Amino acid sequence: LIAASPPPPAAPRAASTFNIDLSGKTAFIAGVADSRGYGWAIAKNLAEAGCKVVVGTWPVVLGPFKKQLESAEGFGADQVMGNGQKMEISQVYPLDLGFTTESEVPAKVLQSKYYAGLSGFDIRSVAAKVEADHGKIDFLVHSVANGPEVSKPLLQVSRQGYLAASSASAYSLIGLVQEFGPLMNKGGGVVSISYVAATQIIPGYGGGMSSA
């Protein structure tokens, strides 16, 4: 008889910044679109702690984000964890937080080049996909800020632009919890990210975003 060779040792888990072990846990992060935002930093820290990371990305920036993420170089040093391994994002879903259900999506959005070939990018549809693909989740992170008139000073913002910023950036948290809450394991947690513009003036950050 020839003894079977022992399996190679598993790569060491990266040391978490917070010295915690989240192996076996799953997180869904809404609002990851590059390696510079808060969402990416949160994803990286969760991955370093052993957590499975699943993200939702705005369709307008989905293409470039996935293309770089799936390339050989990925996001370079920004994607390297403490143990030298590349952070893995288990799945990226197109997600538009301006719509809780598919019936709310107007025809003009579906006709946009950024949404061509996409379906089920509303919150409810994405929650159903996540449950089907990954089962229950343990963490829900809302890391989103979006508004069509963000470059305008507040007094030049239209009512529609202001309400759109509040819808996508603030109310979307309610929609996320409504749809993802039933998917969460007991003891799970929800985190929503704010920004310093909520408490002080940030030049160039207008369009109702500070209020949202």
pLDDT tens digits for 125-149?
999 999 999 999 999 999 998 888 8
Mean of pLDDT over the chain: 88
Using 50, 70 and 90 to split pLDDT, how confident is the model at 203?
Answer: confident
- Please enumerate in sequence order all residues whose Cβ is within 8 A of that of 123, keeping only pairs 6 or more positions apart, or say none: 95, 97, 99, 100, 101, 172, 175, 176, 178, 179, 180
* Catalytic annotation present for 195: yes
Q: Choose among 137, 140, 124: nearest CA to 185.
A: 137
> Which one of the listed residues 38, 114, 171, 195 is annotated catalytic?
195
CA distance 146 to 95: 13
Whole-number Å distance between alpha carbons of 141 and 16? 18
**Tens digits of residue pLDDT in 87-113:** 999 999 999 999 999 999 999 999 999
Rounded-to-integer distance, Cα 136 and Cα 46, Å: 16
**Active-site annotation holds for 205:** yes
Residue 2: what pLDDT?
Answer: 43
Q: Alpha-carbon distance 194 to 196, whole Å? A: 7
| Cα separation, 191 vs 168, whole angstroms | 16
Is the Cβ–Cβ distance between 57 and 89 less than 8 Å? no
**Lateral strand order in the sheet of 52-57:** 91-94, 52-57, 26-30, 137-142, 184-192
Residue-wise pLDDT for 69-79, tens only, equals 999 899 999 99
Helix-then-strand count for the chain, H and E = 6, 5
User: Is residue 90 classed as helix, strand or coil in its secondary structure?
Assistant: coil
Q: For residue 134, which amino acid is it?
A: H
From 38, 114, 171, 205, active-site residue: 205
